[in-house]
Structure 1
């Protein structure tokens, strides 16, 4: 009797495990199947970030397409960002690609560093943390600097530690040619 009970228990565990695996395989997020309103800030089943792109066709039509990028999402899988986080962090669903340029905008950086976003939306924060790191900036330091002095924090990103010299200004000399007589 004890062996039949353990066999039944093992059969139930095996069935549940198989059901979870099949559901995960068949029901996971595939970026190419997402519409343009849920693509940006989504993460596919293999844990890659989805990215919204616009392709120009020969007809001139510019349809949106969602593709899986090669960027890992820090252990997150099968995830579509919530509307609350999109709003709290100041990002847009129809963002084409993702770039660190947004970090240069003081208003965006302020929203990203807010407790509503930074403390509650790890997917978006992880994405911009990695983008900032690619620019040589530590996002927590940027957020701290932003609380102290927004301009200084933005200057840190722009200069990446060393500002390029400005253009040299030289006086311009104009040479006036004497008027030519038509006769």
Structure 2
């Protein structure tokens, strides 16, 4: 009985030391170098993004910051150079924006098989950015492969034709 309890205690102790070691090895965005910040995901699961500000001498300074964008199934991830190249993204891009989706060359690389099937982090980011614009990324990529020009036109119009709407009625004030 004593042997079993001692073994359980040792196993528990070793497990706790292992868990402490993984916690101490975690990273936050603010500790990352700016050249690996873009498309990284912190230990908390929040996306890292590059921000710029003016320094005391007037020069632009870049800092890696933690965004409020949470990634559901990834943690502690620094994107590989292979994915950065395959997807046509730029680690030096400041902030997070869907504007790149309007560039047919970018969308072509994003929708390429090398990117789409091997770079889940980047695809997840742009899937959500496209959804924020009312666009389903798999449909955009299918259109990109068959008719790239049409895909960008549909994305930039963001839906159907604009219809006439009645002007709002003027406000009347009671005195």
Regarding TM over 0.5, the answer is yes
Matched with 1:161 is 159
Matched with 1:73 is 71
Q: How does 1:19-38 map to 2 (within 5 A)?
A: 19-38=17-36
Cα distance in 1, alignment partners of residues 162 and 54 from structure 2? 37
Q: 1:118 to 1:9 in 2, by over 3 A?
A: farther
Q: How does 1:98-137 map to 2 (within 5 A)?
A: 98-137=96-135
User: How big is the alpha-carbon RMSD for the aligned residues of Structure 1 and Structure 2?
Assistant: 1.6
Query: Structure 1: which 5+ runs fail to align?
Result: 166-183
Cα distance in 2, alignment partners of residues 110 and 117 from structure 1? 10
Cα distance in 2, alignment partners of residues 6 and 113 from structure 1? 56
Q: 1:57 to 1:163 in 2, by over 3 A?
A: farther
Residue 13 of structure 1 and its aligned partner are, at CA, apart by 3.1
What is the count of residue pairs matched by the alignment? 163
Residue 58 of structure 1 and its aligned partner are, at CA, apart by 4.2
Cα distance in 1, alignment partners of residues 152 and 3 from structure 2? 65
Structure of higher CA gyration radius: 1
Q: 1:11 to 1:135 in 2, by over 3 A?
A: same
TM-score when scaled to structure 2? 0.86
Residue 132 of structure 1 and its aligned partner are, at CA, apart by 0.3
Q: Deviations over 1:160-179 (max 9, x none)?
A: 113448xxxxxxxxxxxxxx
Matched with 2:37 is 39
Query: Structure 2: which 5+ runs fail to align?
Result: 164-175
Matched with 2:62 is 64
